Structure 1
Amino acid sequence: MPDSGPAPGSVPAIDLSPVLAGVPGAAAEAGRAIDRACRETGFLTIVGHGVPLSLIQETRRQANAFFDLPRPEKARIARAAPAFNRGWGAVGEESLAKTLGAAAPPDYKEYLSIGPVDTSDDPYFHRPEAFPHFAANRWPDAPDGLRPAFTAYFRAMERLAADLMELFAVALDLPPGFFADKIDRQCGSLRVINYPAQTDGPEDGQLRAGAHTDYGSLTILHAEDRPGGLQVRQPDGGWIDVRPTPDSFVVNIGDLMAMWTNDRWVSTLHRVGNPPRADAAASRRLSLVFFHQPNYDALIECLPSCRAPNEPPRHPPITSGAHRLRKLNRANDY
């Protein structure tokens, strides 16, 4: 069950297995732990989540095989435009720090992104405002097993994100299904990120991923515990390293959840740091990152349970899709 609270400078861990097993009172207890974590750090780790380790390992294996391909092979599915979050992005194409207005070098990473894998002929997925949120995925010719592995992993993350959003509703004193009609056509993405070994060294001020906040409702990360990893900004301005385990996911809330909660929950600044120079030659790192994004036309405005009667909303209403496009364009403004 949820722990008794994080130690200073740590990310709390929550066991979801009693919730998924339907243990009485487990959802309410998990909701309290989630609320505490989201108020204090905006980050938590989860275990007992029900995602098979074999699926995680196979997705990682296929991803590593793709990133091992020669650059020209990967470039066959290069993304077509900054807001077109599909396909391969090379090292140096993006600067996440620029999403917050910072002047920063591009990030030292490459990635492969896909979007929803279960669309239909429903006009919702094809009208003009649906683009690029439901743009077609770009699949590589090799390795052969990548598409089925990524598809299965995306579906597993959608299910897990829906479970978490239901617990978010409990944590915020809302009906358990409050978010259901706002995420039933979620337009998030799976971004698999390769942080290459830094044999040549980064340029001045360059990080594997610059300091940023995430765009959507929540992010689910599976990462490796290797030098040069995720760091979370603390209220005192310091940074703490997040040390993942193979059976856990790191979860953090994004901008839209902070807006929905009137900043009761914090969309916390985080980054991916560089490895120590002594470890740089063996510092390759792979992350599986699922960015959950509410329906593109979902209106994000202050929830009634998240402000006092005379307290004004801190953020103007905005649709999920409009916010996402704004952040994507800033990240790729080169």
Structure 2
Amino acid sequence: MAAVPAARVPVLDFPTTSAGALVEALRAHSCVFLTGLDRFSAAGSFGADLAAMVETSQEFFALDPEEKARVRWSGTGEWAGWQPLYEGGADALLLERYELALPDPAGFSGDAAWAAAFSPWPANPARLAPAWTAYYRTARALTIRLVEMIAEALGLPAADLPAWTSRQHSNLCVNHYLAQPDEPGPGQTRQRAHADIGGLTLLWADGRGGLEAAIGPDGGWASVEFPPGAVLLQAGDLLHLWTRGQIPKNLHRVVNPPRTPGVPQTDRFSAVFFHHPDLDTWVAPAAVGTDEVDSSGVAARDHVLARQRAAYTAT
């Protein structure tokens, strides 16, 4: 695969960024790097929470497949638990992931009770559940603020906000891209080109490259290189729809690492918080200044499940 130029993705110091600056960056690029997140999080622990969650995930992925299979996704409904995509046949992705969703934390007595609302936690490592729960809470708070800023800058209806903030349905996922000892087939990538299903995506990736986004000249592929300490914010399908197309969805993929003689292939990890509105929400272009309901929208749950089915059919 031919080399592509690096993308000029805006880097915003989030605690000092205005709503208008955030939206203008997303309008122009469909994604933006956020830094300074320790100064945003309540306990100043965004980076530490993220690091602990990734570390426990790597311990989980190192377990034998038989043990991971105890929390394997059932194959129906929303994605949850362990998903060995590398078992998908000739066109399978060399990828496994673990994924969960938690409800609104309001009303739970503490993080342990909140975590108990999700059942397929692995027994090992024992610290995985508290680490994932802590980061989930941190990322959830960040997406709430991001959606509030987007709504403010675009003048979106206040009545729409609870479905995207306190009632949001979001998935936390860690992807483990397996090393590729054998050269991949023509056109095969680590992750196929796609836009994410929901509203916003918060993406962290380790120092290994591979992420490309269709934000180069004339919409061509460009390499996305993470600055130290940054998280990439990407816009998804449902945010694009809700904002009346003012924020474009971010089309991206993960390409294969270079193959250099004598240099071994390595694994790659990414951590992704997929923010969605409440799945019982009808998502349509926001009707600013009118009470009319736009029938061109979609039911969030139907959209999410249809996109998930399509992803598995592709493997």
When normalised by structure 2's length, the TM-score is 0.83
Letter of the 2:299 counterpart: T
Task: Name the counterpart of 2:32.
Answer: 44
Query: What is the alpha-carbon root mean square deviation over aligned residues?
Result: 2.9
CA contact (8 A) 1:108 1:208 kept: yes
When normalised by structure 1's length, the TM-score is 0.79
* Displacement after TM superposition at 1:182 (Å): 3.9
**Aligned equivalents of 1:251 and 1:121: distance in 2?**
29
* Displacement after TM superposition at 1:36 (Å): 1.8
**1:104-183 to 2 correspondences below 5 Å:** 105-116=91-102, 118=104, 136-174=118-156, 179-183=161-165
Task: Name the counterpart of 2:241.
Answer: 259
Point out where structure 2 has 5 or more consecutive residues left out of the alignment. 1-5, 109-116
CA contact (8 A) 1:259 1:301 kept: yes
Letter of the 2:50 counterpart: I
Task: Name the counterpart of 1:13.
Answer: 11
Identity of aligned residues (%): 32
Task: Name the counterpart of 2:232.
Answer: 250
Q: Which 4+ runs in 1 deviate beyond 4 A?
A: 117-122, 175-178
Among candidates 30, 49, 60, match of residue 66 of structure 1? 60
Farther off after superposition, 40-49 or 237-246: 237-246
**Aligned equivalents of 1:285 and 1:119: distance in 2?**
31
* Displacement after TM superposition at 1:180 (Å): 2.8
Letter of the 1:248 counterpart: A
Task: Name the counterpart of 1:21.
Answer: none
2:311 is the counterpart of 1:331: yes
Task: Name the counterpart of 1:322.
Answer: 302
Task: Name the counterpart of 2:276.
Answer: 293
Question: Aligned residue pairs: how many?
Answer: 292
CA contact (8 A) 1:232 1:242 kept: yes
Task: Name the counterpart of 1:86.
Answer: 80
Task: Name the counterpart of 1:35.
Answer: 23
* Displacement after TM superposition at 1:141 (Å): 1.1
**Aligned equivalents of 1:201 and 1:150: distance in 2?**
34
Superposed CA deviations along residues 228-287 of structure 1, whole A, max 9, x for unmatched, are: x21101262421111113421100110001111222211121001110012873431111
Letter of the 2:286 counterpart: L
Point out where structure 1 has 5 or more consecutive residues left out of the alignment. 1-7, 19-25, 96-103, 123-134
**Aligned equivalents of 1:137 and 1:233: distance in 2?**
37
Task: Name the counterpart of 2:259.
Answer: 277
CA contact (8 A) 1:86 1:137 kept: no
**Aligned equivalents of 1:226 and 1:305: distance in 2?**
43
Superposed CA deviations along residues 106-135 of structure 1, whole A, max 9, x for unmatched, are: 32211000111556899xxxxxxxxxxxx8
**Aligned equivalents of 2:13 and 2:63: distance in 1?**
38
Letter of the 1:73 counterpart: E
CA contact (8 A) 2:214 2:220 kept: yes
**1:184-195 to 2 correspondences below 5 Å:** 184-195=166-177
CA contact (8 A) 1:31 1:170 kept: yes
